Amino acid sequence: MNAAANRPETGFTLHGRVRGEWIDYNGHMNVAYYVLAFDQATDAFLDVLGLDADYRARCRHTTFVLEMHVNYIREIGRDQAYVIGTRILDADHKRVHLFHEMRHESEGWLAATNELMVMHIDMEARRGADFPPEVAACAEAWLAARRMLPWPEQAGSVIGIRR
């Protein structure tokens, strides 16, 4: 994977390719590997916010995902290149609400989305903790730069049978 952009004004994207071992018995990318790809994008984006491996080791703080939703829109297959775009939908003093879109890299169609709530954690107390000021400021910059974009259609979805 390759982080192609990492500035609030241009957005954040991560590029990848569907591996052969990610293909399931239905002949498309297995659900677990969509989550893996989205998790890699989450980690790369959190690194950009300043919550990287060095920070985690030095400060004994990390992040936990509190909730996650994945929407599978269109099948993506073996060896197909994809790009994941990430944005912050909301943030407070210890949480970020992230949204990822996975698109076919060359054709641009939407393959899947991932919405998640991430909390900053003090590993000594194993409880939520405020972001350091520099991380909070960075998250706010990312949020402000994308605030005018339309709310993603899949964000805030509730699972259920439509009647």
Asked if the structure places residue 160 within a domain, the reply is no
Asked if the structure places residue 87 within a domain, the reply is yes
Query: What CATH number should be reported for the domain holding residue 87?
Result: 3.10.129.10
Q: Residue 45 carries which DSSP code?
A: H
Higher local confidence (pLDDT), 29 or 7: 29
pLDDT beyond 60 at 4: no
The tokens for 14 are 């991560």
d(CA 61, CA 54): 10
pLDDT at 154 (0 to 100): 94
- 44: how many CB neighbours lie within 10 A of its CB? 19
Q: Cα–Cα distances in Å, from 138 out to 26, 105, 123, 145?
A: 41, 27, 22, 11
AA identity, residue 43: D
pTM, two decimal places: 0.93
Asked if the structure places residue 163 within a domain, the reply is no
Number of folded domains in the chain? 1
The domain of 36 spans 2-146
pLDDT beyond 90 at 140: yes
Asked if the structure places residue 130 within a domain, the reply is yes
